[in-house]
Structures are given as C-alpha cells and as structure tokens.
Structure 1
Amino acid sequence: MFHDLDETLKAMLDDAAAPTELRAADVSFDTPDKDYKPTEATVNLFLHEVTENRSLRDEARVLARAGDVYTSRLPSLRVDCTYLATAWSSQAGGLRAAEEHRLLGLALQWLSRFPVVDERFLRGSLKTPPQPYPLPAVVAQTQEGRSIGEFWSALGVSPRPAFPLTVTVALEPYDEVEELPLVQEVHLRSTLVDHPVLRGVLFDKSLAPVPAAAVSVVETGAQATSGPDGEFVVPGLEFGTYTLTVRASGRPDEQVAVTFAADHQTQTVVLSGP
C-alpha cells in the first residue's frame, strides 16, 4: 500500500499540468540522512510517520446490498501517512540554495491544489479496488507540540527547508463479512394499552411461519392455535412473565418464557427444534 501511495504522489508531481521545473526534477522516497546526496535536482518525499486517524473512526458497521442479501462488515481503518517534503540540488553555494528553494516552493504550490487526491493519480491498490473514501491531503501543517528541528536532529544532519504532507488512506484489515437476508415483507400489528392482549408469531429456525401449532400458557392453562402466518392470540392475561408450551405436528414440544407488558404485547417466538 505504501508503495502505491508513493507512486500516486509521484504521478501528481509528474502531471502534465505541473510546473515544468517540477516535472523535470527527480522524485525520491529515500531517507534524507547524512549519506543522502542526489546527483540531480530532486524532490524528496520521506514517509516518516503512519498513525490511525481517530477523528475519522466510524464504529458503525458498513451495510451494502449484494443481490438478494445485505452484507455487513466492520468499518475501514483510516490511516494518516505523513511525508516530509524537501528539495535537493547538485549545484554549489548560492545556486544550490536558490534551486532548492524554488523547487520546494513549486512543490508546495502544486500539491496545495489537491485537498483531495484526484482519482486519476491513484495507483495500484489505491485504485483497484477503489478506495471507499476520497483521499484527503493536508499540506504544510504540523501537529501541535512537534518541532521539525527534532526530526533533523534524529537524522544527524543540519536543518533544511521542508514541509509535511499528510495523505489519509483507508485500510481493510478485516475479512469477516456477514450476510443478512433481504427483508421481503413488513407486517404491522396494533395493540391497545387499555385492552391488552398477548399476541405472538411462531417461526422455525429458517424464519418460516409455523401454522396450526397449539400454544398453551403454563401458569393459567389458556390456549390458542397459530394461524397460517404463525400468529396466535391469548386474551385475558395480566401483565407478567409466562411460560408458553408450543406443540406443533412433527416437532417436539418446546417451552418458551415471555414477558407480557404494556409496551411489549407482541412476542416473536423462534422455535429451536427441527
């Protein structure tokens, strides 16, 4: 992925609309330490920090329709990739400084045109499959409390003009995808608070309705029979917790605990047997 991001940034700097001097410069991703001595005008983009962007973290699962099912997966990981941009010249004395400053200024001006990386620049895994989000790019902004001098000290070289470039990419570290059936029908069943009635719907493990099943309330002996859509009604009960015994042809008897309340008058019962 990082190699593909390198190639993407190189494509941005090599674009036909970029300044001529910028396009003519070499683009390097090497570490600009004391041994780094390019032999031609070079824009160096050194990837020195990779951190999760927690402000863009999304805890919600991602739902997508695929034919007759919905897929559910964990959200993408958003990662900030921060480069340090510097310009290098092979000339000497004042000519070197002039060329480096000019080249660095052109790079800053050009990259600032793209608050979001244009899709035409994307390479490799950043292009196929497509990124789930656009790639924001932030130029010349440092984190509070950070000093660029500390960076050069760590490399053991004298400080030089530079600016940071941060591109946020999405990673897909999770390969677990859950498939959910497409909702075929929605049934609305009304209830009355003043005249409560225990209602329920019987389903088997495949969520198909279970018709003609005998439903009895263990605590009161009240009985009902489920209809073609698996629905049953037991009137005359007080609010409370009850145990229902379900007897259906070709299935073992099952007992299910339900809580009957003013705001919970309709029960969905999924039988566990075959």
Structure 2
Amino acid sequence: MMFHYLDNTLLALLDAAPSTGSVDLIRASEKSFETPEKGNTPDQAETTINLFLYEVKENRELRQTAPNKVSSNGQAGNRRAPLRVDCAYMVTAWSKKTGENGVLESHNLLGQAFYWLSRFPEIPEQYLTDAGMTGQLFDAPTMVAQMDGAKSAGEFWSALGIPPRPYFNLIVTICMDLDQQIESPIVTTITSRYLQTGEPSSAEELLLIGGTVRDKDLNPIPDAWVRFEPSTINPSQVSEIKITDQNGRFIFSRAVRGSGFTLQARASGYPETLERSFDVVPSASGDYDLQFP
C-alpha cells in the first residue's frame, strides 16, 4: 500500500548525499529496488546501489494494544491503534567496472551508503512528506546492520544464481493506519460518593449522566434546553435544567441511583417538546441521547 512511498523516501535520502567528500559516489550512482537476478544484475549497466525489500513484518515490541480515543461530531469512540511495520531491505552495491577495480568500487560505494544511512537514526519528516508518506503518527526509526534478517543469505544468492556479495540490512519502521473504528459506547455515567460527616455510613452516592441532543439526521443540536425531572420523591433527587454545548452535549450531576427520571428537550426551530423516560438510574443501556423526529 505505502511501500512504494517508502522506496521514494529512501531514494530522496540517498540523492541528498553531497557530491563531494566521503560520500561522493552516492548521488552519481543509479538506485534500484529490483530483485537481483541472473542475467539482469545491476553491475551490467551502471554503478548502482540496490535496495531489495526482502521482508515486511509487524514490530511487536512497538505494538500498541489499547485503542485510541477518538471524537467526531460529539460522538466518542475507540479506534484501533496504528500498525508499526518493519520494512527490511538488503542493501548491496554494484559496479559497472570488471575485475579487481569493480570489486573495489562496489565496496567503496557500499561503505559510503552504510556511512550515509547510519547518519539518520530516524528519517526526517520532510523526506517522508515529500515522498507522499503523510500522516505518519510516529517517527520512522531506522536500523542499519543491526539485525541479521537474511540469515540464509547464501541460499538466497545461490537461488538467484549469483555469487555471494557483501551487503547490510536496512530496517525502517513505518506506521500504517488501519482506519478501523471499534464500536463502543461512550462513557455516559460516572459514580461519585460524598461523605458529609467523614463517616462511611453518611456517604451519599450521586451519578453523573450525560448525552447528546440530535436532529433527525443525527446532527448535534447546540443551545438546546434539556430538563431532568425525577419521577420519585427523594430529597437528593432534584429537577435540573441544562443547555447543550456546541456539540449538543448535556450533563446532569445529581442523579440518585435506583430512582426513575424523565428527560425533556426543546430547541429553537423544533416546535415539539422531546421527552424520554427512564425507569432507573443508571440506565441499563447507558444511553441518554435525545433525538428530534
């Protein structure tokens, strides 16, 4: 999905190497992401840095199991945490020269690539953005030659029909947003206990309940009038009136456990009074929303 963007990012990072000094060969060299194959090896064309993506896997050490809290249009919910993915490249260098001179040049180029990429423990955000990898919620750390992912490198080269070559591993960890919404209700009831005399026996338990007033299209209605009316006589249970906020939300803070109540709502432009009754506090469903027809 986004691996080609990562290829473009690494390409830009290599092309940013200065053309003079200790890494003078990198910018002038070709860059390839193809799989080296017999009869089509890079050293038959131009001096080349080859980055072969050989493995992609989840980084379990960075795995975040807890969902992230999200809010949209007054609705709260959970969203699955982004996937952290390790992308492992086998980096080799190829020279168009032959014989001993070709070996020396390829070794020099491989060393320069190793040195240059090791300068970036994290890929700078600008390179990610310019390559199209927008929305990375975390930094993109890199590891150079720190994991032997190609343990069977000899078998790899043998299968391709190519003599074994020196290489190093480049591991880049990227963030992949799965864009999965996890259905779960918002927290609409909070319980509080108040001690009047410092004795546990004097504790008074009150519940905070909240909801949203919406229109028929489920759009939140701000500045709506909402009345909390108790259906039983209790000294602690009192009538309250609240005005919804810009997200259509309302909160009542003195509901008494076990007692019934009614919620009534009025809003400008809605001639009818909306009413909803509840047999007990807290509601079994935890839903206190009101919706105009």
Say if 1:71 and 1:180, in contact at 8 Å, map to a contact too: yes
- The equivalent of 1:4 in structure 2 is 5
Indicate yes or no: 2:80 matched with 1:74.
yes
Say if 2:58 and 2:85, in contact at 8 Å, map to a contact too: yes
Name whichever of 193-202 and 41-50 sits farther off: 193-202
Aligned to 2:87, what secondary structure does the other structure show? strand
Of 18, 30, 50, the match for 1:26? 30
- The equivalent of 2:271 in structure 1 is none
TM-superposed deviation, 1:170:
0.6
- The equivalent of 1:214 in structure 2 is 231
Of 146, 154, 159, the match for 1:154? 159
TM-superposed deviation, 1:89:
1.1
Deviations 1:42-74 (A, max 9, x none): 010011111011111112333467797777532
Indicate yes or no: 2:98 matched with 1:92.
yes
Paired positions, count: 249
CA distance in 1, matches of 2:119, 2:85: 21
Indicate yes or no: 2:115 matched with 1:114.
no
Structure 1 gap segments, 5+ residues each: 217-221, 235-242, 259-268
- Structure 2 counterpart of 1:167, one-letter code: V
CA distance in 1, matches of 2:107, 2:169: 15
Aligned to 2:170, what secondary structure does the other structure show? strand
- The equivalent of 2:279 in structure 1 is 255
TM-superposed deviation, 1:37:
2.7
Structure 2 gap segments, 5+ residues each: 215-224, 242-251, 265-273
CA distance in 1, matches of 2:288, 2:16: 64
Say if 2:145 and 2:170, in contact at 8 Å, map to a contact too: yes
CA distance in 2, matches of 1:188, 1:257: 13
Q: Percent identity?
A: 34
- Scaled by the length of structure 2, the TM-score of the pair is 0.69
- The equivalent of 1:46 in structure 2 is 52
TM-superposed deviation, 1:114:
0.7
- Structure 1 counterpart of 2:4, one-letter code: H
Distance 1:180 1:134, change over 3 A: farther
Distance 1:224 1:156, change over 3 A: same
Say if 1:28 and 1:42, in contact at 8 Å, map to a contact too: yes
Distance 1:70 1:211, change over 3 A: closer
CA distance in 1, matches of 2:3, 2:118: 21
- The equivalent of 1:103 in structure 2 is 109
CA distance in 2, matches of 1:257, 1:69: 22
Distance 1:144 1:251, change over 3 A: closer
- Structure 1 counterpart of 2:140, one-letter code: L
TM-superposed deviation, 1:202:
6.4
Distance 1:67 1:124, change over 3 A: farther
CA distance in 1, matches of 2:75, 2:278: 31
CA distance in 2, matches of 1:99, 1:245: 84
Aligned to 2:200, what secondary structure does the other structure show? coil
TM-superposed deviation, 1:29:
0.7
Distance 1:14 1:198, change over 3 A: closer
Indicate yes or no: 2:174 matched with 1:169.
yes
Say if 1:202 and 1:209, in contact at 8 Å, map to a contact too: no
- Structure 1 counterpart of 2:90, one-letter code: L
- Structure 1 counterpart of 2:230, one-letter code: A
CA distance in 1, matches of 2:99, 2:259: 92
Say if 1:202 and 1:271, in contact at 8 Å, map to a contact too: yes
CA distance in 2, matches of 1:204, 1:120: 42
Deviations 1:75-94 (A, max 9, x none): 11111111101111121111
- Scaled by the length of structure 1, the TM-score of the pair is 0.73
Deviations 1:12-48 (A, max 9, x none): 1111436221111100111112132331110100111
TM-superposed deviation, 1:169:
0.7
CA distance in 2, matches of 1:93, 1:210: 89
Over aligned residue pairs, what C-alpha RMSD do you find? 4.1
